[in-house]
Amino acid sequence: MFYFHLADDTVTLDRNGLDLPDIASARAVAAERIAEILREGDVGTLWDGKPLRLWVIDEPKSAGRKLFSLNVTATSDERLDSPSTHGRTSSPVRILPKYFFLLRWPYREEADREGTILLHDDEAHAYAKRIIRELKEAGGYDDPGLTMIVRNACGETLFLIPFVEVR
């Protein structure tokens, strides 16, 4: 079990936990929870210089071993803050998704470890096709079994694009 505790201007302890298969899954859930908080603009005192912190333990009631934590801090140029907003932004923060573009041959796979931030899935699909066209033009990517795999930050496969289908 994984327990996801959160602290910003208050502390919220996870009393139920999630039964996940491994720590990689817990990390993905933690990142998505932080992203959701930021997307909704519910950042508490983040813009006042206090960090947003999520930590994950392996037992309930803070008795467990801390497995990892995510800490988000924000800084603002005080010259940009107006007295009417008191340093807070009037619109929610938008988190853009990260996509990973892998090349798969019948005999090996080449991973994209950095990823690329794009606006949405349709843009990731178009980007993948553009990469395929550029690689084909550069030469050496003519194996009929070569495929581009597009995955999101959670590792879910969004698209499988065979090179032979891209003109």
Q: Which of 43, 78, 113 is the last residue of a domain?
A: 78
CA distances to 19, 68, 88, 90, 106 from 75, rounded to whole Å, are 35, 23, 11, 16, 48
CB 99 within 8 A of CB 48: no
Residue 134 DSSP label: H
Residues 126 and 155 in one domain: yes
H or E element in which residue 129 lies? helix 121-138
Give me the number of domains the chain comprises. 2
Residues 108 and 74 in one domain: no
Domain range for residue 63?
Answer: 3-78
Is 56 a domain residue?
yes
pLDDT at 8: 78
Is 72 a domain residue?
yes
> Across the chain, what does the average pLDDT equal?
82
pLDDT digits 0-9 by tens, 108-160: 888 888 888 888 899 999 999 988 988 888 888 888 999 999 999 888 999 99
pLDDT at 92: 57
| Beta-bridge mates of residue 63 | none
Residues 118 and 161 in one domain: yes
Pairwise CA distance, residues 28 & 33, whole Å: 9
pLDDT at 97: 85
Is 85 a domain residue?
no
User: What does pTM read for this prediction?
Assistant: 0.47
Residues 72 and 110 in one domain: no
Is 36 a domain residue?
yes
Is 84 a domain residue?
no
Is 44 a domain residue?
yes
Lowest mean pLDDT segment, chosen from 23-27, 36-40, 48-52, 137-141: 48-52
DSSP SS3 for 51: coil
- Going by pLDDT thresholds of 50, 70 and 90, the confidence category of residue 79 is very low
